[in-house]
């Protein structure tokens, strides 16, 4: 099949974004998953994604120090066509010398400027609240600042990437805050969003980005129960829980 002949596309909620049903998540480009990437490898992945008709890239301000993942993507975009891609990024943390939360409106404005610079673009298609508590979520100053950026065109659409896939509070507030998409953990091993989050998205006509679709690799078929992970993300998880999930996969 030619480029994208088999890929399906959907409008993301009430946005005007036409996105491929499969996107490329880029947390791994920041080095947290046990492998360091270089620009050549990133180029190969994104070139192959484009050949397959994928146009959605999801990244974040804290995927690697100093906007590492966004910088890799920006370097690639500078040699490709920006308008061919839908770029989703996130806000709420900063990782300069060390990783830390940064939920103040002024800090987020700086993160946005840094993300635009790293991505080598003058707009972000979907800018998402990144796994914050309800306490930091309820910040009028933050949402007012973001709304002004939407009006200015530096942000095309706002979204909410919920930390807990049962966070119905933030999901229910989306339309009110002019957020048009929810990002949530959803896969064969974790279908909790079906209970409340997805029905709320339907009701509000929100787009849904399902993250961790392969359950952190457990659904890839590469791992057997008893596997011990050494990367920065999975090594901190409960081993019994990992084994239980990998047993389910075998079944």
Catalytic positions, please? 63
Q: What is the largest CA-CA distance in the chain?
A: 52
Q: Are 215 and 236 within 8 A, CB to CB?
A: no
> DSSP string of 57-107?
EE--TTSSGGGHHHHHHHHHHTTS-GGG-EEEEEESEEESSSEEE--SHHH
State the Cα–Cα distance between residues 44 and 78, nearest whole angstrom: 15
Q: What are the E-state strand segments in the chain?
A: 9-11, 18-20, 24-25, 56-58, 86-91, 93-95, 99-101, 126-130, 158-161, 179-185, 207-211
- 9 - beta bridge partners? 20
Backbone angles phi, psi at 10, to 5 degrees: -140, 155
Count the residues in the chain. Answer: 251
């Amino acid at each position: 099949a030619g480029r994208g002949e088999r890929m399906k596309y959907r409008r993301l909620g009430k946005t005007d974004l036409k996105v491929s049903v499969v996107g490329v998540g880029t947390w791994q480009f920041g080095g947290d998953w046990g492998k360091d990437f270089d620009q050549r490898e990133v180029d190969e992945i994104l070139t192959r994604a484009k050949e397959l008709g994928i146009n959605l890239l999801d990244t974040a301000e804290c995927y690697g120090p100093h906007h590492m993942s966004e910088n890799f993507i920006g370097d690639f975009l500078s040699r490709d066509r920006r308008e061919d891609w839908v770029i989703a990024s996130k806000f709420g943390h900063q990782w300069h010398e060390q990783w830390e939360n940064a939920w103040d409106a002024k800090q987020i404005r700086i993160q946005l400027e840094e993300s635009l610079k790293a991505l080598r673009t003058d707009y972000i298609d979907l800018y998402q609240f990144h796994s914050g508590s309800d306490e930091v979520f309820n910040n009028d100053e933050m949402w007012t600042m973001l709304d002004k950026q939407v009006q200015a065109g530096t942000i095309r659409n706002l979204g909410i990437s919920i930390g807990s896939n049962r966070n119905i509070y933030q999901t229910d507030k989306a339309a009110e805050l002019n957020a048009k998409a929810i990002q949530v953990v959803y896969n064969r091993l974790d279908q909790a969003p079906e209970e409340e989050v997805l029905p709320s998205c339907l009701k509000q006509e929100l787009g849904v980005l399902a993250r961790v679709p392969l359950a952190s690799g457990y659904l890839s078929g590469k791992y057997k129960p008893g596997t011990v992970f050494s990367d920065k993300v999975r090594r901190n998880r409960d081993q019994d829980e990992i084994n239980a999930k990998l047993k389910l996969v075998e079944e």
